[in-house]
Amino acid sequence: MSTAAETPPTEPTQPTAAEQVRSVVARAVSLSLTTQGQAYDLIGMHSVSRRGRITLHPQVDSPLASQMEHAPRGSLAALLEFTDITPTATRARVRARVRVSGWLTPDRRGDATTLRLDTARVTLSTPAETVEVGLDEMTSASPDPLAIEEAEMLTHLADAHEDMLAGLVALAGPRVPQGFTRAVPLALDRHGITLRCEYPIGHCDLRLLFAAPARNAAEAGEQISRLLVPQLG
């Protein structure tokens, strides 16, 4: 369910699938890697280029580096999995899963060993659907401008602004069924904010659209305040 502040119907109301993937990968600090017969949990060992290319940075003496060194034909088939979890404590915290498959190839620069992923396929899974994202879409897309700061903003809203949360839920009126026990910030992007309303059994999500896309965290804060202005007047 959602409500919006006079947004033209032709305007996007949420990030594209490619933008969602780029956002998940950009803010991820860890990933799960599956290669031929091996599984790894990598923390703080990947980077993403401006055009979305993923590079792994294993330690020189790590099992992954050793496996890469002995790989036939100099490359490894690989599956990378990123799990996007809401930073706030709410039910069903997994918002999305991103799976990126391809081949790892060593790219040695000086004393550092890096593994470049040549991507073959990307899929995005959300509670609503699973879609395949084209490689050209991935290259041309960018992370949402709020992707990196989203966690801090949502946590601050949940911890310090219960009054604002109540006001945002009130915007939905009868579209939110009565009887919910609490509302928790679930997601934030340049187009709007999503709240999760929890009930004794189950939950529903409320998406509130901004009047204009936010280009940074400051503008997102202003847009949230604007949503509440009619109630304060």
Instruction: Spell out the domain ranges in the chain.
Output: 17-140, 147-232
CA dihedral angle for residue 168, residue 7, residue 151, residue 53, rounded to 10 degrees = 160
| Higher-pLDDT residue of 95, 11 | 95
Taking residues 93-110, report their average pLDDT: 89
Q: Check pLDDT > 70 for residue 5.
A: no
The two beta strands, 130-133 and 76-85, are: unpaired
CATH 3.30.470.30 for domain 147-232? no
| Higher-pLDDT residue of 226, 108 | 226
Residues in the chain: 233
pLDDT 10s digits, 154-206? 999 999 998 999 999 999 888 888 899 999 999 999 999 999 999 999 999 99
Same fold, 17-140 and 147-232: no
Q: Is 157 helix (H, G, I), strand (E, B) or coil?
A: helix
Single-letter amino acid, residue 195: L
What fold characterizes domain 17-140?
Pnp Oxidase; Chain A (2.30.110)
**How many Å apart are CA 26 and CA 6, to the nearest integer?**
31
Single-letter amino acid, residue 218: A
Of 11, 20, 14, the C-alpha closest to 133 is 20
